[in-house]
Every structure is written in structure tokens, then in C-alpha cells.
Amino acid sequence: MQNRARLVVLLLVSTLPVMTGAVLSPALPALRAAFGAGTEAWARWVLTTPALFVALGAPLAGGLTDWVGRRPVLMASLVLFGVGGSVGGVLGTLPAIVVSRAVLGLAAGGIGTVATTLLVDYYDEGQSRVLGGQAAVMAIAAMMYTVLGGALAELSWRAPFGVYLLGLAVVAPAAVLLPEPEAASGADSASTEAGDTGVPWTRVGALYGLAFVGLAVFNLVRVELPYYLRAMGLQSGFWIAVVLSAGTVSGAGASLAYDRVRSRLGTRGTLALLLGLFAGGFGVVAAAPSPPVAFGGVVLAGGGMGFFVPTLTDGVGRLAAASVRGRLLGGLSTLRNLGRFASPLLAQPAVVGTAPAAPFVGGALLTGGLSAAVLLWGAVRLVRSTTAPCGAMVPPEPHVAVDGARRCLR
């Protein structure tokens, strides 16, 4: 029972970073109107500032978790989240609100990093299953927080800020149910590929690169698809939102299936599959003659995204010793958020051309090429495995010895 309650609290805590933009976005028009003309730029920064500071806060929190422990960083981040998020509802200027949103972003970076690190710490044997569940819960929470923010925005643009007080509400259950994990053993800190930290930087770096590229590409759905749908003749904001939400729904389903898919395909096979779903989905969107066809493409791409987040988190978690796990997962969070931030740059006409479908053609070609590269990489490793012993091919990782045999085969 306590283990179940612990998982519930961790999953609830994991949804808080999703709240940073989802709760407030429906209130932005009313917020901008409340402060008058000439405040459009500040109003946009109210929504986008947290993402940038999540990218800054995640590696900072990761280093602190490995230095002072998981609990102190989590408790401080929860308090900062509740205060920094809710205070915007009583501030009187947009610049002050933007500053409070920067504080919120730093706190969200800490919460996301520590929550994921604790899931890996607590559930080493069932890591793939719980990380898939975490991604699914976060996807569902994003929709729920958006709906809640929209309902509160009907009362006042200040009302949605009160939702951030949930950060303070979970401090007590987190303090009771989330103990500090046991310190890393001597095996955990053994050297594998890169000195004392035992970090196989080649593989971690590859996952970091995929995190940046994958989020930059997928975020084109939110950045560019509304314009593309309008070019097709779809003018209803409601139906545009329905098409956009299709990826969230299919992503939640894919996340729930992640553990079963990975157990059959392995990490490389899952990576090839999700990149193929990205490519197929973007290709369908690019060739879509009508919004219903584009809807199907978003469903495919969303399924790839549902596999994407747990695959990367699971991969980095398995490669990281407990003594450096917070830093490596914090770095992964940073690369994901930087990918989101860079996404509009990929859609510039100088990069992909001026046609409405051009960003999706580019995304399909890029992810399709990456999927083929992953498959080729796996084929080369398979051929090498027939002529070399496992130990000669895969550097030993003492801190994940239980999974070593399976990783050798994959």
C-alpha cells in the first residue's frame, strides 16, 4: 500500500512541470487585454519564459541532487513552485509576472529532474514500466490542466495562477512518502567508459542529441500546424485544437505500451520505431489534402512522441550510476526544452522553404533518415556480435549489471 501511495505521489509531482504553460495559456488573451495596448511582447513572455528557465534549472537541480540529496532539492523546488507560480495572480505589472514565471521555470526544472530521478532510484527493476506510466500521466495531465485553466479564466485572468498552489499542497505527502534513496554503492561509482563517473558518454551523448532533435521536430506540430490547417480552409479554433490534441491522446496510449514494446524490440528497435512514426506522421501531414487526413498524421506522430520521452529517460537512467543520475537526467531535460525553444528556427523559410507543408516535409525527411540510421547501427552491431564476445563489444556497466545481458543482445 505504501509503495502504491509513493508511486501516486511521484506521478502527481511529475505532472507539475506540465502545468507551467498549460494552465495559463487559455488566460493569455484576457491577461493581455487587462494590461492594455503595447504589452503583446510581455504577454507572450509570460507563457514562454518558464520553458527557458526549465532548461536552465534542470541541470542545476541535477547537480544538487547528486551533491546534497534528492529530498532537499525536491522540497525546495515544490515550495518555490507554489509560491513563484501563484504570486503572479496578485502582481500588478507584466514585467513582475514574467520574473515570477522565471522563478516558476527554475522550480519546475528541479521538480521534473528529481521526480524522474526518484522513479529510476525506487523502481530499478520496473523502470521501463513506471517511466512509460509517467509519460502517459503527464500527457493526460496536460489536457486536464488546460481545461482547468480555461474554466478558471472565465472567472478572471488571475484565477488560473491559483492552481500553482498545488505545489505547496504536495509538500507534506512528498515529505512523508518519498524517502532519500540509499547512497550509491561502490559498484555504482565504478568506472566504465569515461573515468571515475562511469558514464558512457558516447551513448548518453547520442540520446541527448536525439532529445534535442526529436522535440524540435515534434514541436512543429504546435508551432506550424495551426497555420497549415488554416491554409487548408479550417478556420475554427475549436477544431484546430481537436487536431492538435490528437497527438496527446495517441501519445498517452503509446507511453502506456512502452514497456511491452521495449521488451520485444529493445532500445534501438524502439528508437527506430518511434522515429519511423514521426516520419510517417509528418509525411501524412505534409501530403494531407484535408484536415481529417492531417488528423491521422498527428495521431501517428503523437504515438512516436509517446514512445520518445520514456525511451530517452529509460536509456539515460540505465546508463547512469546513482551518483551521477541526477546530473544526467537534468541534462536530458535541458536538451528537451532547448529543442522546444529551437523548434521555430527549423520552420524558417531559409531552412525549409515557403510552402505551408515545407516544415513537415523537412521533419519527415530528417526523422526518416534518423530511423534508417538507427536500424543500420543495430544491423552493424548484430553483425559484430557474431564475431566478437559480448564483453568486447559493450563496455561493462557494473551499476546496471542486472540488465547487462539484455543490453548486450540489443
Q: Taking the CA atoms of 9, 11, 16 and 17 in sequence, report the sign of the dihedral they define.
A: positive
Half-sphere exposure (Cβ direction) of 32: Cα atoms closer than 13 Å: 16
pLDDT at 188 over 50: no
pLDDT level of residue 191 (50, 70, 90 thresholds):
very low
Minimum mean pLDDT among 122-136, 357-371, 380-394: which range? Answer: 380-394
Range(s) of the chain covered by CATH 1.20.1250.20? 1-182, 187-410
- 197 or 208, which is more confident? 208
Q: In the chain, how long is the greatest CA-to-CA distance?
A: 71
Looking at this protein, which amino acid is placed at residue 356? P
With CA atoms as reference, report the closest residue to 88 among 191, 21, 18, 164.
164
pLDDT at 405 over 70: no
Q: Give whole-number Cα distances, 251 to 192, 265, 371, in Å.
A: 34, 18, 18
CA dihedral 329, 202, 342, 149 (to 10 degrees): -20
Fold category of 187-410 in CATH? Growth Hormone; Chain: A; (1.20.1250)
Looking at this protein, which amino acid is placed at residue 201? W
Does residue 229 contact residue 243 with C-beta atoms inside 8 Å?
yes
Which tens digits make up the pLDDT trace of 97-138? 999 999 999 999 999 999 989 988 888 777 788 888 888 898
State phi, psi for 188 to the nearest 5 degrees: -60, -35
CA distance 351 to 274: 24
Quick one: cell of 168?
A: 505547496
Does residue 75 contact residue 126 with C-beta atoms inside 8 Å?
no
Q: Does domain 1-182 have CATH number 3.30.70.270?
A: no
pTM (two decimals):
0.73
Does residue 147 contact residue 48 with C-beta atoms inside 8 Å?
no
With CA atoms as reference, report the closest residue to 157 among 29, 21, 22, 18.
29
- 34 or 227, which is more confident? 34
Quick one: cell of 401?
A: 549489471
